[in-house]
Each structure stands twice: as structure tokens, then as C-alpha cells.
Amino acid sequence: MNGLFSFLNRLMGVQWNFFRAVIHAWLFVFSLSLVLGFFAIRVLWLSALPAPIDLPPSFNDLFLVVIFAPLGETLLLSLVVYLLRRGLKVTSPLPICVVVALLAGLTHGVAIPAWFITAFGAFFILTFMYLTWYAEGPSARGYWAACLPHALNNLSAIIFIWAWDLVD
């Protein structure tokens, strides 16, 4: 599994500066979410939306999805990582990434089944970023390394919804 994490380190640009790594992580998470979302909806025939949504999204939706959710969910991510590392003495990054991704997938997939798959992929990468940058320095750096790509990913989704509303 070291090969996977070495590949992710190179792909995310971890050897570069922090902000470049955040941008790489966002692009990777967003691309992965699009591919996994397409797979979940078109191949597995999972539901994409529970009910019609208000279009275009309001400012409150924007605040909740782009600011509040990434801040809160990254806080939960860091808590789960802390419990796994300190409480259960898990040291390998793979099981930590998988457990956090499963929990995120389950919580997102309760409302919308297709979101299980996209959230799993996204949170696997976000947890990887958290673990990588947490090891590089202060814990705040790990927090923001996961939070910022998450916020950018959610902003991209909102922009897609707005654009889809304009085309439709």
C-alpha cells in the first residue's frame, strides 16, 4: 500500500507547497466525484436526488454547503482520526482513510444513495490530505489541507447546479 500513498503524494503535489497541494487535491476530488457520481447514477442506477431541489441555490445553501459543511465535517474527520490513532492505536494510513471514508459515505448516503460512492472517494482523499499535512507540521495545517479542497469541491458542485439550471 505504500505505492498507493506514494502515488497520491506525487499526484497531490505534497512535495510542493501547501496551496498547490490543496489545488491538486481539489481537482482530484472533484474529478473523482464526477466519475464516481456518473458510475453510481448511470451504472448502478442509484438515486441522484431525494426530491426536487430549489434552483438556483440560495445564499443560505451556498453558506451551508461551501462554508459550514466543510468546517464541521473536517472537524469530525479530525476527531475520528484522533480516536483511531490514540484510542485504537491504528498507525497505518490506509485503514484510517477507509474508516473515515466509510463513515462519510454512510452519513451522506442515507439521504441520497449515489452520494455514498462519491463521498467515500472524496473523503478517502481528504483524509489522506489531513494525515499527510498533519504529519508535516501543526495540526491546523492538516485540518485546512482537508477543509479547503472540500469547500472548493462543494463550490464546484453548486456552480454545476447553477449552470445546469441555466441550460435547462
Per-domain residue ranges for the chain?
2-46+59-167
Cα 120 from Cα 108, distance rounded (Å) = 9
Return the closest-CA partner of residue 155 out of 26, 35, 14, 38.
26
Residue 58 is predicted with a pLDDT of 79
Cα 146 from Cα 25, distance rounded (Å) = 9
Calculate the CA 157 to chain-centre distance.
Answer: 12
Helix runs in the chain, H state only: 2-12, 18-38, 59-62, 69-82, 93-109, 113-136, 139-167
Cis omega (within 30 of 0) for bond into 149: no
Residue 41 is predicted with a pLDDT of 83
Give the confidence band of 7 by pLDDT, cuts at 50, 70, 90. low
Residue 61 is predicted with a pLDDT of 84
Task: Report which residue type is found at 128.
Answer: F
Cα 88 from Cα 114, distance rounded (Å) = 30
Average per-residue pLDDT for the chain: 85
pTM reported for the whole predicted model = 0.86
52 pLDDT higher than 60: no
Pairwise pLDDT comparison (1 vs 112), residue with the higher score:
112
Contact 46, 114 (CB under 8 A): yes
- For residue 163, with 0-12 CB atoms within 10 Å meaning exposed, 13-18 middle and 19 or more buried, which class applies? exposed
- Cβ contacts of residue 68 below 8 Å, gap of 6+? none
| Coil vs helix vs strand at 58 | coil
